[in-house]
Chains A and B, each alone.
Chain A
Amino acid sequence: MTVPAAQDSAARESAAVAGRGSGDAGDDRAFWRSKTTIGTAVYLVAVVAVLFGGSQFTLYEGTLIATYGIVTVAQDWIFGRAGLVSLGPAAIMAVGAFTTARLSTEGWGFFPVPLLISFVFGGVIGLLIGIPGLRFRGLYLMLTTLALQFIISFAAEQYQGVNREAGFTVTPPTWGSLQLANPQPLFLISVILLGLVLLGLSGIHGGAPGRAWNAIRQNEAAASVLGINLVRWKLAAFIGSSAVIAAAGSVYAYQIGQVQYTTFSLDLSLTLVVMVFIGGVGTLIGPIIGAVGVVLLPQGIQEISNLFSGMPSVSGWLQLNEGIVADGIYGLLLLLLLIFERGGLVAIGQRLGRGAVAAGRLAVRASAPRIRRTNAPSP
């Protein structure tokens, strides 16, 4: 490698000061190749494809994935970045959902008012959870959130009361003549919200807050010694993630139309937790991949059962027990991933990708003609 010529160094220096590195075409390439840009592009393509080309069912599933995605990304915020595990996301969703349902029927349903109010209530709940959370992390926090899941679920049950077995109906929001709870608008709302959350979080995680949470996750004592205010950052993580989860609950309420306490059970909470770990804790796409996997798995099983259409007993059994088989697969997958590949599906994908690239390189090298080197390499 030759030593760079002297006249470039001045240009490089000024470019470095301006914060753009040694400004040349390679730098723009770096921007286009960066994960954020590619990710955003893929996201936009996927959204447009589903929005305009998807059937009602696809739109429904897409909205569900986006809604769960918001929750899982928020959970990754507290698990993967700050090291605080919560077993109660469904309960926080319930807060947003019930708030939205009641507001929509009491005349406060103008979108996005219920969403914003749910966001605020979620933040309040986050503050309440955060206070005991300051004392514990890991296990005791899990138990605290488990207790809160039950308590909030019970409170919702009491609030729903004996008279409303079917729960609260959500009056669909309208903007003039536009019905916002229809598949397409709702899908758009959910993906916009998810996009905002992703943008916000990628910005925060990349900056000082992200480093603070990372430090707290790795070693609280050391972080505190370094001057990181544990109380402030832990509370921030709880309040922020709970607010976001409650907002997701609000969108969920619009989607399901009928809000009952039974929907927001421990089962849903555990499913949401499983999504984060299966996809890959500590990344932003991981939780979303987890959400995609979990939402689409039952359909995958349907497809597999169709493969067995020649054996009606097998395919019939699969179709009948779709949900349970899916649950079993999640449990098994979670266990296997935690033992063998903590990074989740994202890490497996990366490994496969690297393997493919390496294999590709080997193939290219093997097929390229041998080049005779005439210049000795400079010292």
Chain B
Amino acid sequence: MSNDVATIVINGLVNGCIYALIGVGFVVIFRATGVVSFAQGAFMVLGAEIFASLVNDGLSTGPAAILAAGGAFIFGGLVYWLAFSRLTGAEAFITSVATVGLGILVEAVVLLIWGPAIIVIPQLFSYQVHHLVGQLGFSNIDLFAMAVTVAVFAVVLFGLHRTPVGLRMRAVANNPRLAVFTGVNVLVTSTLAWAIAGLTAALAGIVYLVGTQPDPGSIYALGLAAFPAILLGGFDSIPGTLVGGIIIGLVQATVAVYVGGAWQDVVAYGVLLAVLLLRPQGMFGSPQVARL
């Protein structure tokens, strides 16, 4: 296996995992409240900055990640409770523009608190490389990214399909009115959905931060860059978003190696356009999302 292919596979998988983490939160929000959120990037930045502050103050990686994700969890829930619960029933593009406004606001607050410079954290993982499959050498950071992704997806899918809370969320996602009649507290369930989205986005931000050393703006931009992956997988499919994320990650990695790094984003957006024109519901999306 050549070096190029190895790079493509590893980078593609890791980036794909980040997209998937952003996407799973997005899909949860979309299914529970019907909002197409452009604000995942904002939750990512928040989580990453809190994590960075904690880690720079000496806290170790695990607890810092948990606290940062927890903070984003609470923040996501609050955002729904205070703002988006009042937009229930509004037209789709109104809520989306509202998420754009939210994103701008949070980004501004983050920049005011932490500044626009590159986020610097101490080295948290050794550069040890594990050769798991043939010549594919995964670093600790890569493994961390993939482990977090697998864990999050496992918990979310298990939670949705095997717990009473998950059942209620799926009920609300499926038919909010009927869910109300069966006694589901839609407000609480929707708040929980947004909280989960905040948490997964924060984890995505942390993973991205640990792997690269980005500035807040780049992290925020990633929230939008995940759209091709989400759309490819299907707006309302959680497994789809994982598959979509990995595919886009691999495609971008291939483009980066053979054409040039600058073309990555354009190609991803080209895929997004292609999906919209050819199969709007993506690979695993339900037919209802074919015409949004």
Contact = CB atoms under 8 A, between A and B. Distances in A.
B97 A277 contact: yes
B111 A138 contact: no
Interface in A49-103: 85
B93 A143 contact: no
Contacts of B221: 266
Interface stretch (B100-108, B175-183, B204-212): B100-108
Interface stretch (B62-70, B144-152, B159-167, B265-273): B265-273
Contact of B105 (A132, A146, A335): A335
Interface in A119-151: 132, 135-136, 138-140, 142-144, 146-148, 150-151
Interface in A327-362: 327-328, 330-335, 338-339, 342
A144 B273 contact: yes
A324 interface: yes
Contacts of A327: 104, 107-108
B98 interface: yes
Contact of A274 (B91, B101, B280): B101
Contacts of A277: 97, 101
Contact of B269 (A132, A151, A273): A151
B93 A273 contact: no
Contacts of B266: 150-151, 154
B155 interface: no
Nearest to B277: A132
Interface string B69-91: 00000000000000100110011
Interface in B256-292: 262-263, 265-266, 269-270, 272-273, 276-277, 280, 291-292
Contacts of A154: 262-263, 265-266
Contact of A270 (B90, B100, B262, B270): B100
B94 interface: yes
B220 to A, nearest CB: 10
A143 B274 CA distance: 12
A335 B93 contact: no
A180 to B, nearest CB: 35
A299 interface: no
B36 interface: yes
Contacts of B108: 324-325, 327-328, 331
A128 to B, nearest CB: 11
A338 B104 CA distance: 14
Interface string B104-119: 1111110110000000
Contacts of A36: none
A136 B292 contact: yes
Q: Which of A143, A151, A333 has the most CB of B within 10 A?
A: A143
B251 interface: no
Contact of A143 (B103, B270, B272): B272
B224 A266 contact: yes
Contacts of B87: 338-339
User: What is the interface residue range for chain B against chain A?
Assistant: 35 or more
Contacts of A135: 277
A331 B276 contact: no
Nearest to A338: B98
A338 B93 contact: no
A71 B109 CA distance: 28
B96 interface: yes
A321 interface: yes
Contacts of A144: 273, 276
Nearest to B266: A154
A138 B100 contact: no
Contacts of B280: 136, 140
B247 to A, nearest CB: 17
B112 A328 contact: yes
B100 A334 contact: yes
B240 to A, nearest CB: 16
Nearest to B265: A150
B231 interface: yes
Interface string B209-235: 000000000000100100100010000
B75 to A, nearest CB: 14
Nearest to A317: B112
Nearest to A157: B262
Contacts of B94: 338, 342
Contacts of A328: 104-105, 108-109, 112
A139 B272 CA distance: 13
B272 A331 contact: no
B109 A273 contact: no
A339 B92 contact: no
B96 A142 contact: yes
A310 B107 CA distance: 29
B292 A147 contact: no
Interface string A254-279: 00000000000010001001100100
A198 to B, nearest CB: 24
A143 B276 contact: yes
Given A151-B266, A324-B112, A338-B97, A140 B292 contact: yes
A342 B199 CA distance: 30
B92 A132 contact: no
B99 to A, nearest CB: 9
A313 B102 CA distance: 28
B41 to A, nearest CB: 11
A250 to B, nearest CB: 25
A63 to B, nearest CB: 25
A151 B109 CA distance: 29
B112 A335 contact: no
Contacts of B227: 143, 146
A332 B91 CA distance: 20
7 contacts: A140-B276, A324-B108, A327-B104, A332-B105, A335-B102, A335-B105, A339-B98
What 9 A-B pairs are tightest by C-beta distance, nearest first?
A: A331-B105, A328-B108, A334-B101, A331-B104, A147-B269, A139-B292, A335-B101, A327-B108, A154-B266
Given A135-B277, A332-B101, A335-B101, 14 more contacts: A136-B280, A138-B91, A138-B93, A138-B292, A142-B96, A143-B276, A144-B276, A151-B266, A154-B265, A324-B112, A327-B108, A328-B105, A328-B112, A342-B94
